[in-house]
Amino acid sequence: MTDIINTLAGIAAQDPLDKLRDHRAQAKDNAQLSFEALLEPAETGGFSHRDRYAVAAFTAGLLGAPAAEEFYRDLLRDEDEVASWEIAELLDEVLLELDSRSTVRGPYGTFESAALAAENVPGPWLSVEKKSSEVLGAQLAAGLEFAHLLVLHPRDSRPEHMALLLDAGWDEDSIVTLAQLVSFLNFQIRISTGLTALVHAPATTLPPVSDEPPEAGDGDGEATSARDSAASSKGSEALARVGERVSTYPGLTRPELFQQSGLGWVPWISPVAEADLTDVQREALIEAGRAKNPYFRLLARDPAALRARTLTDLDIFFNTTDGLGRAERELAATVASRLNGCLFCASIHSDRATEESGRRDLVQTLLDTGVETPSNLGDAVWDAVVDASAALTLTPQAFGPAHVNALREAGLDDGDIIDVLNCAAFFNWANRLMLSLGEPEVLAPGIPRR
């Protein structure tokens, strides 16, 4: 089948960049298999092809990716032309609201920790109107609201959002697939954006699109809209209705600040019990020890997607036959995680960046101060990686040919640059799963991560 990432980036088979992508052949192949598992599975369960294409087209539109939006809308038109037009109209309304608040771009949202309130960035929420809901169906409407959350303000995710999906007719398996789909698209579209810039970099020296991270509000939440309040009320009511199907952990010790290591993660909906894992699910884990981890057992609800995602991850980060150093790969993951507001992912990958580089204080500075561009860490390669990763993480993406040129000027070749793009884009997938399906906890000393 045609490689979708190459198609979106305008790269032909056997082009030089396609051959460079083959240096991470397992990642390339499994990114395509992720598309097939999530968009074109043989068995759809409770999440139809029509609804998958609708979520994909909507997600692509939110990401400011017209080629991807048209690609997925074309698939949707083949299933339901009326739904395709409804998605287009809904996107017009959402993007108009975003454009009217030009100071707000993703990732925005509110941290649960009061210690991080200075970084809160209020922004619009989506509540699908009755007319659209009647055309699309209540279940898809809830899925689109969830997609808006994951694309633009993933750190606003709370247990209530699981309850809203369950209440609208999604089951636990299909919720995991929905989260995987939206999160995967955040990877697919970002990597294709980066590769497109790499294609065009030799022909331009234009200055980069502004890639300043979102500016924080005053932290007191006064910009919360009436729709936000209504959504909160709906979420509380849904929690009451779904009961024990969603866990809220009232006594959980939650982290207050970004830190290196020391965090665990707990799921809001039930993972597959270890004793109940099927052979297919165990195989999808790739590493047998992951059967002890509730995160991977939760993702095992969609084993085909989990397997493809895991193999993509391992090749991007641990294939060191050539390319970018391990420290710089973990740095890119840390930047994306810090900017998206994923305290758990930032803790794991900042710790690994420290382990690989020996630069604990420098890594901690990034966690403490947040992502500032242009980066001024005092190392040309690290500064270029930080700026590139941040630009690719913004929604819409600000990454362009000038960032490619900056990476080249720092001494990276195009294979190294593809590694940077892969790492930053992948953590826009990983962060959204971690943020939307559960939350971090502070571990007591000596207690292993769950």
Tokens at 66, concatenated: 């017209």
pTM of the model: 0.94
Check if the beta carbon of residue 294 is closer than 8 Å to that of residue 176.
no
Orientation of helix 49-62 relative to helix 172-200, angle to 10°: 40
pLDDT digits (tens, 9 = 90+) for 368-406: 999 999 999 999 999 999 999 999 999 999 999 999 999
Q: Is it the case that residue 421 has pLDDT exceeding 80?
A: yes
3-state secondary structure 337-390: HHHHCCHHHHHHHHHHHHHHHCCHHHHHHHHHHCCCCCCCCCCHHHHHHHHHHH
pLDDT digits (tens, 9 = 90+) for 246-291: 999 999 999 999 999 999 999 999 999 999 999 999 999 999 999 9
Tokens at 140, concatenated: 């898809």
pLDDT digits (tens, 9 = 90+) for 423-450: 999 999 999 999 999 999 999 886 665 5
Q: What is the DSSP letter of 159?
A: H
**pLDDT (average), residues 156-181:** 98
Closest residue by Cα to residue 424 from 385, 398, 396, 375:
385
What are the φ and ψ backbone dihedral angles of 203, each rounded to 5 degrees? -100, 5
Q: Which residues of 276-306 are buried (b: 16+ CB within 10 A; e: fewer)?
A: ebeeebeebbeeeebbebbbbbbbbbbbbbb
Average per-residue pLDDT in the chain?
93
pLDDT at residue 221, rounded to an integer: 43
> Beta partners for 442?
263
pLDDT at residue 367, rounded to an integer: 98
What are the φ and ψ backbone dihedral angles of 442, each rounded to 5 degrees? -80, 125
Closest residue by Cα to residue 234 from 161, 306, 318:
161
Closest residue by Cα to residue 273 from 348, 177, 172:
172
The answer to whether the bond into 396 is cis (omega within 30° of 0) is yes
pLDDT digits (tens, 9 = 90+) for 32-65: 999 999 999 999 999 999 999 999 999 999 999 9
Containing H/E element for 64?
none
pLDDT at residue 1, rounded to an integer: 74
CA dist., res. 450 & res. 295, Å (int): 8
Closest residue by Cα to residue 334 from 350, 354, 316, 323:
350
pLDDT at residue 446, rounded to an integer: 64
Secondary structure of residue 103 in the 3-state scheme: coil
**pLDDT (average), residues 174-179:** 98
Check if the beta carbon of residue 256 is closer than 8 Å to that of residue 115.
yes
pLDDT level of residue 232 (50, 70, 90 thresholds): confident
Q: Which residues of 104-141 are buried (b: 16+ CB within 10 A; e: fewer)?
A: bbbbbbbbbeeebbebbbbbbbbbbeeebbebbbebbb
CA dist., res. 417 & res. 214, Å (int): 25
**pLDDT (average), residues 182-201:** 97
pLDDT digits (tens, 9 = 90+) for 321-349: 999 999 999 999 999 999 999 999 999 99
